Amino acid sequence: CVGDNGRVYVVGSVEGTVGTEPRVGGVDMCLACYDANGSNQWTRVFGTSDQPDRACGVACATNGDVLVVGHTWGNMGGATNQGQYDFVIACFTPAGSNRWTRSWGSDNADRAYAVALDPAGDIYVAGDARGTIDAESPVGGRDVCLTRLTADGQRIWTSMWGSSLDDTAYGVALG
């Protein structure tokens, strides 16, 4: 996403030290901030010490915060992993400090790939789930999952839909 002052934010997963940011575990989440001229301003590597963590989506909030979504097989955001991969969302300040991190999921594999914000600041996280989340259950092997959260990352609702086979959401946009 492109944030305030033309800053560009990129997310991904890394398996080693990036600049001065040390490795946390096996596969870690990574957020990098670049200025409008392409110079790296800061990089953050985060995740769990012994499980794979993947950052897949990023969105810029109107207050300058940066939201990163992905999935982890470990315990993040003060929550115990529910089983296999769980959804993760992390909020960073424009200076790169972690404001908060939340994780949630089912007893099966759940993966977040995309994030968007509405004008009120509510957050929408899209991906897929293989198990029941917030009383929503998949109809197939893996179904599209959309969760709405407050601006501070508290879940409001979750919705799932799909076919009898595997279905995934890779993007979310609000109009």
Q: How confident is the model at residue 77 (pLDDT cuts 50, 70, 90)?
A: confident
Q: Given this model, what pLDDT does residue 102 score? A: 96
Kindly report the average pLDDT of the chain as a whole number: 94
Q: Are 59 and 117 in contact (CB under 8 A)?
A: yes
Percent of the chain with pLDDT over 70: 100
Q: How confident is the model at residue 103 (pLDDT cuts 50, 70, 90)?
A: very high
Alpha-carbon separation of residue 63 from 99, 148, 161, 168 (angstroms):
13, 19, 32, 30
pLDDT tens-place string over residues 12-32:
999 989 988 888 988 999 999
Dist. CA 96–CA 53, nearest whole Å: 19
Q: How confident is the model at residue 167 (pLDDT cuts 50, 70, 90)?
A: very high
On the question of pLDDT at 138 being above 80, the answer is: yes
Which residues of 19-97 form beta strands (DSSP E)?
28-34, 40-46, 53-60, 66-72, 86-92
**By C-alpha distance, which of 55, 126, 127 is closest to 91?**
55
pLDDT tens-place string over residues 48-72:
988 899 999 999 999 999 999 999 9
Dist. CA 138–CA 82, nearest whole Å: 16
On the question of pLDDT at 4 being above 90, the answer is: no
Q: Given this model, what pLDDT does residue 159 score? A: 97
Joined together, the tokens standing for residue 151 give 């601006």
On the question of pLDDT at 46 being above 90, the answer is: yes
